[in-house]
């Protein structure tokens, strides 16, 4: 491991670099970090062997690798050759390093083992074999130069650290300070020293005992170690090893797993602290003994809402010299940090960006970027500034490393270890594109195979080197239940009218049809030919209206009053908003504009279909003593709701981005402490991070965000450790509108993230592929934005389509596994078209039936009365589903993925994965599933009645009520079982008919043969007669 430089790129151009390798190391210790401190012993031999003791090496402690993903590049020494002053400096450093090495060796020989804080000598594992350096060729763009270029001061620091490590070996690493020459007067009263943390009402997770970190020679002291769960100990080991070797990485644990605690525990080990009162004096005593002595310096960059929280956690978990670099006195704080009088400095992303030159004057030993997804965009100002941060050990903390696309993960990893992953174009070609294309509903077997294989290589081989993620399921036994329900609310008549009017406008027409071929005959697209400018509009270009038009549709989907100009707005903005209002409501806009600030508009039930639902839910929750969080990304909607609630008996709290951090913390504390506070209105962006509001047990997300992480983080304000009640989440989606597309994209992005994290076989709902103009499908492209589906719920149709496709494919997978030659060959499959295609409409018929079945006198025993479902139905809601049942895998999808992976490459080809099982003529080409087929109603009813009878219900009405309350998984299981049994029955009947026909034909043939034989014999014998 000595001499390896992590700044060299990993090659993604060949599959070998991502080859899945089995490691014999524990899961908590990643392959990249499986390097113990290099000691003076032979590779592969234990410490006992070096002492002449014949002791076998523990096989679990050997770490072998079949491939090295990290390339090695010698330090460029041109500057040393051309700069005499630099060469002289290097000469002096070599002499100094030699003296330090000799001194370190002497200290180790004289110092008892237990006097080294946390140092435990371990056997050095077998290093990875070196692999040839990948040559990426000339960088083709400024972006790629940016991606692979470090500031000079960071290059110099990396070279110096590498040289020091090579020459001093163990002593050249960032090991914990030993304090061997430091005297503590408190040593005489160790038994009476106060320790932290103190949780008198909690039971420790472990025994009171130090935990050694064998691969980084650190120790988690017992006062802290006793409170850590095992996965947190593994996280601490991961982080501390990064620190010791001055590398970067991302701790990507799910929200609520204690990333902050893991960081403080790792820093405790890095600083050599013991978790008692002596820790408050360590920095001062080291500085007093030698002002130039090395002592760690840590910078934490986080969102402003977390400043106070970080400082409070450090106080709770130990004795630290922590200061906040923010506000009026920040210059004094920075001066203290420069002089080495601050152990940990905390600042915000904004403050760092504005003062990065001053902050980077300090050589930080570790920089921790909390909520590091804030630097996910390669070209953003925040990312560019953070790329210049003066630290080799860069650690990112985030529960949502992949929010929108896989390139975001590349950006985070490239920040932690600049240049290691190579250019982003290579990442996109080798990872992003295969994963996205293979997730399409219309993916071929070869595309699916490549996607699943790429995901496994990414998750099992590449990411463990830099990325550690655990899910909240680890602490599921310590959390109550959470139900994440998506409610599709119908628009009111007025809303629907305004929505349609806007879609029929010339603005939307120019946008929606911009990519169509122009009617002038020049074979150019309309938007770049004769329809570039919208008549009588200013500005005239249609491109300038795309984002405003999308925003208008979102406002119309939410609450009509949001579209009405506010009297407090600037005159120019009022005129612009008035234009859109006039387009949406040409007959009513004047009256609405005249009364634009009236509360009557806010309370008008015809202006918001969601309000009809929310109002009834709030009434029910208030009567039950629940507490509610209401999130929206529209601050204006929140203020409207606040004004409405002030005229009710509800006690309301409010938080948005305009409030100071102190005011936000104060209002949160008041809501948690006061049981009379019922509703908390919160801006999704301002309140989605860093708030602990476990006093609430109901969460309402009024409008979906394009980024799914915002809505997920909003839920976790209530659903986290400390919550004692079950949590219900209600996401309100306006059916048939652009909000369905937004939510569908959330599903798409959540699935992509799960693939990137876990290599899971996610269900393939959508035909579209992100950022592929030729595969826009149902959720990408402008045309999908600017459509109104009326009473049709797009997501329901997409989910049902996938249910049916999987139900059919499920039989195919079973056939392939047991007898591949028999697939689709039995004549009994013929004549099943109407019956099979009727099943594709059963789930829709249950929810879409205009004439609802009357409740029977005998209620279904498997389901109890659900008052919430009754409230939703009373408000006109026809369809809901649970988000966690839509996102994820299924038995069939896992089988299809396994089949695609195992299939020989020359047999996959362009065959689509989802294939029909209905009859087709032999001369037909590869058949296509006709998902839009609507079979006769009598066939549908007959099928449904047969299903009711099969599953043991007295009549179809009773069965319909049961199915309506089923989850998506239960409906899929029901359909799967029905398909399997019906197909088997029909095939058996067909086989019996064939056998009977064959038997009759054989009997007939025998009779004919006998008859012919008799005739022949009679003819032959006739002359003798």
d(CA 186, CA 280): 11
**Is the bond into 220 cis (omega within 30 degrees of 0)?**
no
3-state DSSP assignment of residue 488: strand
Decide if 107 contacts 101 (C-beta within 8 A). no
d(CA 997, CA 25): 65
* Residue 262: alpha-carbon gap to chain centroid: 21
Please state the rounded mean pLDDT for residues 980-989.
Answer: 69
Whole-number pLDDT of residue 927? 36
Tell me the pLDDT band of 148, cut-offs 50, 70 and 90: low
Whole-number pLDDT of residue 454? 95
Whole-number pLDDT of residue 846? 40
Query: Higher-confidence residue: 686 or 826?
Result: 686
Would you tell me which CATH number, out of the four given (3.30.450.20, 3.40.50.10810, 3.30.565.10, 3.40.1160.10), belongs to the domain 1-195+206-471?
A: 3.40.50.10810
d(CA 775, CA 763): 18
Q: Is the pLDDT of residue 700 over 60?
A: yes
Please state the rounded mean pLDDT for residues 423-440.
Answer: 94
Q: Is the pLDDT of residue 399 over 70?
A: yes
Closest CA to 636 of 688, 572, 582, 558: 558
CATH topology of 1-195+206-471 equal to that of 608-734? yes
3-state secondary structure 277-307: HHHHHHHHHHHHHCCCCCCCCEEEEECHHHH
Residues 6+ apart with CB under 8 A from 1023: none
Decide if 6 contacts 159 (C-beta within 8 A). no
Range of weakest confidence among 461-470, 635-644, 860-869, 1006-1015 = 1006-1015
Q: Decide if domain 608-734 falls under CATH 3.40.718.10.
A: no
3-state DSSP assignment of residue 178: coil
Please state the rounded mean pLDDT for residues 529-555.
Answer: 91
pTM, to two decimals: 0.75
Beta strands at 679-683 and 628-632: parallel, antiparallel or unpaired: parallel
Please state the rounded mean pLDDT for residues 878-907.
Answer: 85
Query: Higher-confidence residue: 274 or 116?
Result: 274
Q: Is the pLDDT of residue 28 over 60?
A: no
Exposure b/e, 961-993, CB count within 10 A at least 16 = b: bbbbebebeebbebbbebbeebbeebeeebeee
CA-based max dimension of the chain: 140
Tell me the pLDDT band of 810, cut-offs 50, 70 and 90: low
| Residue 571 CA neighbour count, 13 Å, CB half | 0
Closest CA to 880 of 778, 953, 799: 799
Decide if 321 contacts 342 (C-beta within 8 A). yes
Whole-number pLDDT of residue 13? 52
d(CA 951, CA 277): 68
For the record, the structure tokens of 301 come out as 């960059």
Whole-number pLDDT of residue 992? 64
- Between the alpha carbon of residue 349 and those of residues 304, 404, 689, the distances in Å are 8, 21, 14
DSSP 519-552: TTSS--BGGGTT-SB-TT-SS-BGGGGHHHHHHH
DSSP state letter for 285: H
* Residue 503: alpha-carbon gap to chain centroid: 33
d(CA 537, CA 528): 17
Torsions phi, psi for 672 (to 5 deg) = -65, -35
d(CA 971, CA 893): 16
Q: Is 355 left (phi over 0), alpha (psi -120 to 50) or beta?
A: alpha
Beta bridge partners of 486: 731, 881
Exposure b/e, 40-56, CB count within 10 A at least 16 = b: eeeeeebeebeeeeeee
Residue 117 burial (10 A CB sphere; 0-12, 13-18, 19+): buried
| Residue whose token pair is 């600083």 | 271
Whole-number pLDDT of residue 109? 42
Beta bridge partners of 483: 728
pLDDT-above-90 percentage for the chain: 48
Residue 1021 burial (10 A CB sphere; 0-12, 13-18, 19+): exposed
Whole-number pLDDT of residue 179? 87
Whole-number pLDDT of residue 372? 95
- Between the alpha carbon of residue 296 and those of residues 37, 177, 338, the distances in Å are 19, 9, 12
Please state the rounded mean pLDDT for residues 582-597.
Answer: 89
Helices marked H in 13-111 — which ranges? 47-50, 78-82, 84-110
Closest CA to 236 of 256, 255, 212, 254: 212
Q: Is the pLDDT of residue 417 over 90?
A: yes
Decide if 164 contacts 173 (C-beta within 8 A). no
**Is the bond into 539 cis (omega within 30 degrees of 0)?**
yes
Tens digits of residue pLDDT in 298-343: 999 999 889 989 999 999 999 999 999 998 889 999 999 999 999 9
The secondary structure element, H or E, covering residue 394 is strand 394-397
DSSP state letter for 608: -
DSSP state letter for 205: S
Tell me the pLDDT band of 987, cut-offs 50, 70 and 90: low
Please state the rounded mean pLDDT for residues 842-850.
Answer: 41
Residues 6+ apart with CB under 8 A from 333: 323, 324, 325, 342, 345
Q: Is the pLDDT of residue 853 over 90?
A: no
Decide if 654 contacts 667 (C-beta within 8 A). yes
Tell me the pLDDT band of 624, cut-offs 50, 70 and 90: very high
Whole-number pLDDT of residue 986? 65
Residue 464 burial (10 A CB sphere; 0-12, 13-18, 19+): buried
Q: Is the pLDDT of residue 923 over 80?
A: no
Closest CA to 30 of 475, 418, 478, 416: 416
Q: Is the pLDDT of residue 526 over 50?
A: yes
Whole-number pLDDT of residue 4? 43
Torsions phi, psi for 249 (to 5 deg) = -170, 175
Length of the chain counted residue by residue: 1025
Closest CA to 887 of 507, 598, 526, 486: 486
Residue 648 burial (10 A CB sphere; 0-12, 13-18, 19+): middle
Whole-number pLDDT of residue 996? 64
Decide if 696 contacts 681 (C-beta within 8 A). no
Tell me the pLDDT band of 184, cut-offs 50, 70 and 90: confident
Closest CA to 387 of 357, 413, 418, 358: 418
Please state the rounded mean pLDDT for residues 830-836.
Answer: 42
d(CA 712, CA 688): 8
Residue 626 burial (10 A CB sphere; 0-12, 13-18, 19+): middle
d(CA 585, CA 908): 54
Please state the rounded mean pLDDT for residues 182-194.
Answer: 81
Torsions phi, psi for 366 (to 5 deg) = -155, 135
Query: Higher-confidence residue: 653 or 1021?
Result: 653
d(CA 606, CA 209): 64
Whole-number pLDDT of residue 747? 95
Q: Is the pLDDT of residue 687 over 90?
A: no
| 240 CB neighbour count, 10 Å cutoff | 28
* Residue 1011: alpha-carbon gap to chain centroid: 78
Q: Is the pLDDT of residue 592 over 50?
A: yes
Average pLDDT, the chain: 78
pLDDT-above-70 percentage for the chain: 73
| Residue whose token pair is 């006998």 | 1010
Whole-number pLDDT of residue 477? 83
Decide if 499 contacts 737 (C-beta within 8 A). yes
Query: Higher-confidence residue: 838 or 808?
Result: 808
Q: Is the pLDDT of residue 93 over 80?
A: no
For the record, the structure tokens of 276 come out as 């008692």
d(CA 7, CA 422): 10
Beta strands, E only, 385-432: 394-397
d(CA 287, CA 273): 16
Tens digits of residue pLDDT in 749-767: 999 999 999 999 999 999 9
Please state the rounded mean pLDDT for residues 955-975.
Answer: 75
Q: Is the pLDDT of residue 572 over 80?
A: yes
Beta strands at 211-213 and 218-220: parallel, antiparallel or unpaired: antiparallel
Beta strands, E only, 842-910: 879-882
Whole-number pLDDT of residue 435? 96
Q: Residue ranges per domain, the chain?
A: 1-195+206-471, 493-603, 608-734, 794-986
Closest CA to 749 of 711, 781, 723: 711
Name the CA radius of gyration of the chain, rounded: 34
Q: Is the pLDDT of residue 859 over 70?
A: no
Whole-number pLDDT of residue 944? 81
The secondary structure element, H or E, covering residue 734 is strand 727-734
Q: Is the pLDDT of residue 855 over 70?
A: no
Range of weakest confidence among 785-789, 831-835, 931-935 = 831-835
Tens digits of residue pLDDT in 104-144: 444 444 334 344 343 344 444 333 343 333 333 343 454 44
Beta strands at 628-632 and 698-701: parallel, antiparallel or unpaired: parallel
Query: Higher-confidence residue: 876 or 942?
Result: 876
d(CA 704, CA 554): 10
Q: Is the pLDDT of residue 6 over 90?
A: no
Tell me the pLDDT band of 27, cut-offs 50, 70 and 90: very low
């Amino acid at each position: 491991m000595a001499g390896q430089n992590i700044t060299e790129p990993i090659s993604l151009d060949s599959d070998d670099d991502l080859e899945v390798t089995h490691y014999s190391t524990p899961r908590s210790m990643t392959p990249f970090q499986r390097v113990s401190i290099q000691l003076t012993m032979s590779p592969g031999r234990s410490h006992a062997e070096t002492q002449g003791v014949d002791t076998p090496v523990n096989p679990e402690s050997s770490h072998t690798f079949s491939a090295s993903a990290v390339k090695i590049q010698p330090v460029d020494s041109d500057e040393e050759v051309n700069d005499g002053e630099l060469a002289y400096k290097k000469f002096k450093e070599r002499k100094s390093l030699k003296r330090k090495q000799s001194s370190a060796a002497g200290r180790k020989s004289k110092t008892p083992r237990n006097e080294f804080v946390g140092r435990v000598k371990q056997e050095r594992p077998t290093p990875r074999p070196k692999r040839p350096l990948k040559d990426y060729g000339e960088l083709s763009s400024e972006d790629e130069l940016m991606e692979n270029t470090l500031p000079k001061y960071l290059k110099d620091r990396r070279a110096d650290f590498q040289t020091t490590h090579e020459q001093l070996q163990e002593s050249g690493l960032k090991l914990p300070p030993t304090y061997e020459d430091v005297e503590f007067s408190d040593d005489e009263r160790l038994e009476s020293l106060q320790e932290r943390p103190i949780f008198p009402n909690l039971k420790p997770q472990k025994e009171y005992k130090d935990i050694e970190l064998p691969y980084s020679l650190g120790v988690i002291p017992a006062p802290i170690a006793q409170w850590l769960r095992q996965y947190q100990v593994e996280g601490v080991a991961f982080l501390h090893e990064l620190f010791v070797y001055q590398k970067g990485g991302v701790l990507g644990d799910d929200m609520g797993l204690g990333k902050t605690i893991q960081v403080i525990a790792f820093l405790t080990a890095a600083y050599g602290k013991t978790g008692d009162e002596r820790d408050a004096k360590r920095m001062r005593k080291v500085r007093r003994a030698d002002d130039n002595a090395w002592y760690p310096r840590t910078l934490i960059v986080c969102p402003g809402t977390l400043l106070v929280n970080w400082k409070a956690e450090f106080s709770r978990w130990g004795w630290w010299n922590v200061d906040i670099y923010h506000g009026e006195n920040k210059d004094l704080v920075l001066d203290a940090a420069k002089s080495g009088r601050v152990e940990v400095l905390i600042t915000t992303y904004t403050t760092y960006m504005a003062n990065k030159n001053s902050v980077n004057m300090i050589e930080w030993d570790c920089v921790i970027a909390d909520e590091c997804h804030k630097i996910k965009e390669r070209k953003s100002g925040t990312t560019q500034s953070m790329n210049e941060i003066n630290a080799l050990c860069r650690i990112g903390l985030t529960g949502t490393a992949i929010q929108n696309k896989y390139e975001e993960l590349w950006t985070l990893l490239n920040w932690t270890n600049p240049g290691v992953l190579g250019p982003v174009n290579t990442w996109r070609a080798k990872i992003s594109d295969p994963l996205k294309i293979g997730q399409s509903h219309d993916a071929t077997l070869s595309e699916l195979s490549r996607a699943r294989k790429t995901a496994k290589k990414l998750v099992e081989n590449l990411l463990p080197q830099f990325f550690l993620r655990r899910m909240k399921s680890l602490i599921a036994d310590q959390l109550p239940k959470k139900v994440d329900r998506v409610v599709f609310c119908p628009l009111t008549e007025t809303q629907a009218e305004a929505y349609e009017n806007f879609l029929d406008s010339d603005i939307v027409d120019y946008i929606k049809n911009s990519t169509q071929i122009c009617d002038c005959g020049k074979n150019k697209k309309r938007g770049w030919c004769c329809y570039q400018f919208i008549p009588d509009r200013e500005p005239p270009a249609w491109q300038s209206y795309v984002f405003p038009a999308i925003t208008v549709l979102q406002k119309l989907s939410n609450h009509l009053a949001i579209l009405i100009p506010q009297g407090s707005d600037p005159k120019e903005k009022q005129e612009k908003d008035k234009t859109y209002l006039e387009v949406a409501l040409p007959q009513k806009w004047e009256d609405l504009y005249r009364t634009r600030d009236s509360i009557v508009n806010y309370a008008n039930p015809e202006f918001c279909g969601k309000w009809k639902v929310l109002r009834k839910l709030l009434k029910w929750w208030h009567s039950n003593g629940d507490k509610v969080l209401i999130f929206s990304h529209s601050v204006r909607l929140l203020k409207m709701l606040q004004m409405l609630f002030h005229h009710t008996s509800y006690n309301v709290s409010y938080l948005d981005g305009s409030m100071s951090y102190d005011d936000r913390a104060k209002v949160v504390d008041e809501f948690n402490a006061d049981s009379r506070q019922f509703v908390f209105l919160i801006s999704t962006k301002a309140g989605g991070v860093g708030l602990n509001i476990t006093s609430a047990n109901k969460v309402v997300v009024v409008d979906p965000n394009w980024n799914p992480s915002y809505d997920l983080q909003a839920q976790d304000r209530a659903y986290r450790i400390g919550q004692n009640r079950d949590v219900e989440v209600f996401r309100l989606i306006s059916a048939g509108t652009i909000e369905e597309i937004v939510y569908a994209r959330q599903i798409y992005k959540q699935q992509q993230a799960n693939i990137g994290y876990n290599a899971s076989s996610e269900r393939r709902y959508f035909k579209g592929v992100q950022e592929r103009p030729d595969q826009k499908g149902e959720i990408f492209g402008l045309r999908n934005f600017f459509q109104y589906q009326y009473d049709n719920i797009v997501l329901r149709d997409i989910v049902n389509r996938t249910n049916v496709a999987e139900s059919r494919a499920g039989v195919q997978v079973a056939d392939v596994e047991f007898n591949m030659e028999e697939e689709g060959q039995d004549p009994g499959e013929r004549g099943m078209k109407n019956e099979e295609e009727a099943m594709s409409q059963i789930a829709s018929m249950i929810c879409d039936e205009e004439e609802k079945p009357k409740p029977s006198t005998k209620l279904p025993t498997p389901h109890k009365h659900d008052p919430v479902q009754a409230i939703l139905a009373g408000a006109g809601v026809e369809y809901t589903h649970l988000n966690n049942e839509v996102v994820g895998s299924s038995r069939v999808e896992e089988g299809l993925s396994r089949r695609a992976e195992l299939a020989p490459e020359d047999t996959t080809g362009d065959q689509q994965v989802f294939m029909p099982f209905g009859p087709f003529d032999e001369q037909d080409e590869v058949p296509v599933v006709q998902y839009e087929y609507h079979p006769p109603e009598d066939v549908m009813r007959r099928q449904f009645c047969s299903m009711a009878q099969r599953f043991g219900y007295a009549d179809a009405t009773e069965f319909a009520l049961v199915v309506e309350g089923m989850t998506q998984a239960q409906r899929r299981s029901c359909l799967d079982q029905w398909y399997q049994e019906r197909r088997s029955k029909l095939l058996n009947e067909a086989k019996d008919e064939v056998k009977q026909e064959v038997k009759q034909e054989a009997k007939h043939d025998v009779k004919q043969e006998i008859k012919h034989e008799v005739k022949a014999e009679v003819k032959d014998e006739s002359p003798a007669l």
